[in-house]
Amino acid sequence: MFVLRNGLVHSETGLLHEHGVLIDQGRITAIRPLSAFSPDLPAYDLQGQHLSAGFIDLQLNGCGGVMFNAAQTQETLAVMQEANLKSGTTSFLPTLITSPDADMRCAIEATRDYMQAHPTEVLGLHLEGPYTNVIRKGIHPADQIRRPTEEMIDYLCQNALWIAKITLAPEQNDLDHIRRLSEAGILVAIGHSAANYEQAIAGFNAGIRFATHLYNAMTPTLNGREPGIVGAIYDRQDIYAGIIVDGHHVHPANVRLAHRILGERLCLVTDATAPAGAPEGFDHFDFCGTTVFYRHGQCVDKNGTLGGSALTMIEGVQNLVQQVGIPLEEALRMASLYPARAMGRANDLGSIAEGKVANLVIFDDAFNVTATLVHGTYQEHR
């Protein structure tokens, strides 16, 4: 049992000054004025720094110099988590892009084993593909994009406890498959899709409730006659969306527009790859057989196609505040509470509130992460 003292507490009810947060057995057990806590209690002095719920990244291909596609193992997930903590991410969805069935099965097994040992770190696997549209493939390998078999749909539904999210193109899939995946408890997302408005809405009606990297790899609003996927998302009240705020994937004006329309359904994601949090000098990596170069803050192949990002969540929060103009309180919610809600985990994660798991981040005014807590375990990152 210990108290976090003298921090700017970004709680579920708003910013609190001169309050302490009591942590006991991995959970937040009290949020009170400092005077309410005995001076004899063990404490960490935050020295005026910010205390927020830990960030939840719903799309993470790799970081810390590794890629989940390259090795679907618990060891890879451990390296990713270690890199995550240095940028304030305490929970994430490891993301496997378009792959053979054998790799998908390995990824599910590795995720299952890691989740059982670390239940609030990895919240489940994100399968980004292979059931997408080659027209909007981005850097995904075209020869692996395919339609699902009945056997694989059965297998995915049977393993829904370990699969948090599946990104697919509704126009390339049987709507009954979408319905079955959703009913099994998997968050089905639209992405890497060339659907028109009607096809997107049909997918939403079948159970799609998320949009993967809004604006990227999806049909835009072309004109007044064709709203596209983006218009379909904006026309609904039940779709969450992830957005990459690295200054390369989406223009700040479009981030502001998305936030104005979606509000509490817009989640910051990184779509990060190996260079995020990697040692200095890391300049290229393999992404499913394609060499991706890390240059001038971007991850691109030889043709200039974006291959994920090098963004961290704390950098995304900083960009939301400094480039987009979103208040810090809201930027933090986009990185923590809204992702938790999208995943149905807001009962125990995503905000500083009594009874919730103590997954927390501490950072200074310059957006440097100085410490994190995962299940109440305090770790410095100076």
**Active-site residue set:** 271
Sign of the alpha-carbon torsion through 314, 315, 320, 322: positive
Give CA angle at 181 (204, 60), nearest 5°: 85
Amino acid present at 317? V
Long-range contacts of 258-264 (CB under 8 A, 24+ apart): 258/214, 258/215, 259/324, 259/326, 259/330, 259/334, 261/234, 262/233, 262/234, 264/333, 264/338, 264/341
Q: Alpha-carbon distance 38 to 16, whole Å?
A: 19
Residue 199 is classified by DSSP as H
Q: Which amino acid is at 100?
A: P
Do residues 258 and 266 make contact, with C-beta atoms less than 8 angstroms apart? yes
Other Cβ atoms less than 10 A from the Cβ of 223: the count is: 8
- Tokens describing residue 238: 């039940």
- Residues 36 and 30: their CA atoms lie apart, in Å, by 10
Q: How far apart are CA 115 and CA 50, in angstroms?
A: 29
Q: What values do phi and psi take at 186, rounded to 5?
A: -90, 135
> In what helix (H) or strand (E) does residue 177 lie, and over which residues does it extend?
helix 175-183
Q: How far apart are the first and last CA of the chain?
A: 23
Nearest Cα neighbor of 107 from 168, 160, 162, 184 is: 162
